[in-house]
Structure formats: C-alpha cells, structure tokens
Structure 1
Amino acid sequence: MKDLSETSQADRRGWMSLMAKAPAEALLTAFDAVDLAQEFTWLRAPETGGVMLRGRAGATGAAFNLGEMTVTRCALKLADGRVGHAVVQGRDRRKAEVAALCDALMQGAEAGAVRAQVLDPLEAAAGEKARARAAKAAATKVDFFTMVRGEG
C-alpha cells in the first residue's frame, strides 16, 4: 500500500480535480465498466452543502465573494486502511462515492487499472472538450492591424 508521501501531491490533486470536473455519467460509466468495487466503511457519508466561491479582479485585486456553489463531499476507508476523499459539484452522492473510491484505489496496487480504465478516458474527453471550445473561440477571432495610410 502506498503512503501519501509516496504519492505526489500534484498527481493526487490532478486526479481529484479530473474526477470532480468530469460529468457524472462519464465517471460512473467508466467506473462501472471495470470490476474495482471494494468493501469500505464511511468516515463521512456523502453530504451536500455549500461553499463560498472567491474571486479577484484581474487575478491581482482584493478577494471578493463571488457566490455560492452546491457541493457533495464524502470520505471512506477501504478494508486495508487506505482512505479516499471526494468533493464534487452538485448533489450527486453516487459520483462523490465513486470519486472517493477511485481516490483510495489510486493509492494502491489498483492504481494502474484505475488510471487506464477510468482516469485516462476522462482526461481524453476533457482534452477533446477543451480543444472544441478553443476551436470555436478561434473561429470568432478578429485580427486588428494598422495599415500605412500614405499621408506623408
């Protein structure tokens, strides 16, 4: 079993972010296609609440309260002691459970299977969505330039 000190914090932050941002149906479909179900006990059963979003004008100004967002969070412990956490946008308890389970599994021998069967397809879909969004924005790009007027 990997200790969290062995698992890069940046790597963990990456997979947690990927699962939190993924559409629930994509995460659940990918997870259900793989036989990775595990027995676990709840440390914190899925609960829904709100968080305050903060922003900065121009990314440098003083922080201000932008608004609230509904989130669901949970924490679970596998039989071998690995702990998984999840915080996902919205009220989807099952998505939070699967994300926490994947987090715990990524800390052990199942990490390769979870990466290949769940995380890589989610990452590919997110990349394709970003490329499509960038292509749509590029289609509306206007290039401004100055022409020499010949008045001289």
Structure 2
Amino acid sequence: MNAPLAPQQQRRQAAMAVLVRASAAEIEDLLGALALPAGEDLRQPENGLVMVRGRIGGDGAAFNLGEATVSRAAVRLPGGEVGFGYTLGRDRAKARLIARCDALLQTDQADAIETKVLAPLRVRIAAEQACRAEQTAATKVDFYTLVRGE
C-alpha cells in the first residue's frame, strides 16, 4: 500500500501532469511573462528510451509492449532548488522548461507559476477535453431492440 504524498509533492505531480500536455512554445510564452531567476543545467537535456509495459484486461500478466522515446532534464536555481523534467518524445527544450517549472514550484514563486502558467494551461486542456467529448458524443449510437408482439 502506498503512503500518502506530502502536499508539495502532490502539487508538483499535478503540475507535471499539466506541463506534459502543453507545448514547449506555450510554456515558454507563459514563463516569459514572469521575472524569474535563471537556472543552470544540472543534467543537460537528453533523449533516451523507456520500455512500455502492457497488461491484458487490467489484471493479466505484464508484458513488454515496446519502447518509447523520452527527454529528460534537471535544473538547479540560484537558491539551490532542483527541478526535474520528463516528457515523451524528443523535445529537449520542453524537458528543460518542465524542469525549470518544477524547481520554481519549490520557491516563493510557486503561486505565480500556479496562476500565470499552470492555470491557463489547465483551462486550455479542459476546453480541448470538452470539445473532444462533445465530438465523441455526437457520434454515439444508441442501439435498442423492439419486442415483436407475436
């Protein structure tokens, strides 16, 4: 059984879930509007592979489905906060931006990141999901059977 996460860790996880769904340009534009400290690369952004595991029916035996490319980076701010960024694909700049946001969430700039970066991204993502759900609902077909009166 997993232990409950600390509030800061939950906040960072929620932020990562939003940031990976945004483009690097979006994140950069939103961060550019803020006066933020520059960080140094603790780990240069790099690409690699991860094994993707699958499971049949949710409770079957796990198997290796295939490999996926991943980019990762680590950034340290002048105050010593370290942030990590991972994203599917080969977008090193996005991994660095995610790592920078992760580090900033550990500083007194966390509220600014939440309101100026994460909140607009959440709104856009929710709107996309609603649009997708609406398009899917439009194609729904209800099947029913008429009982013959014999």
* TM-score normalised according to structure 2 size: 0.88
Give 2:8's aligned residue: 8
Q: CA-to-partner distance for each residue in 1:7-53, whole Å, 9 max, x for gaps? A: 432222111121122122222221222222x2323221111111111
SS at match of 2:13: helix
In structure 2, distance between residues paired with 1:64 and 1:96: 28
Q: CA-to-partner distance for each residue in 1:41-91, whole Å, 9 max, x for gaps? A: 322111111111112122222112222211110111111111100001222
Give 2:69's aligned residue: 70
Give 2:32's aligned residue: 32
SS at match of 2:20: helix
Unaligned runs of 5+ in 2: none
Fraction of identical pairs, as percent: 45
Give 1:120's aligned residue: 119
Unaligned runs of 5+ in 1: none
Give 2:82's aligned residue: 83
Give 1:130's aligned residue: 129
In structure 2, distance between residues paired with 1:58 and 1:22: 30
Give 1:56's aligned residue: 55
In structure 1, distance between residues paired with 2:118 and 2:79: 22
Alpha-carbon shift at residue 93 of structure 1 (Å): 1.8
Structure with greater contact order relative to length (CA < 8 Å, sep ≥ 6):
1
Kept in 2: contact 1:21–1:88 (CA 8 A): no
Write the letter of the residue equivalent to 2:116: Q
SS at match of 2:107: coil
In structure 2, distance between residues paired with 1:77 and 1:101: 8
In the alignment, does 2:103 pair up with 1:104? yes
In structure 2, distance between residues paired with 1:14 and 1:108: 16
In structure 1, distance between residues paired with 2:101 and 2:8: 16
Kept in 2: contact 1:18–1:119 (CA 8 A): yes
In structure 2, distance between residues paired with 1:90 and 1:107: 26
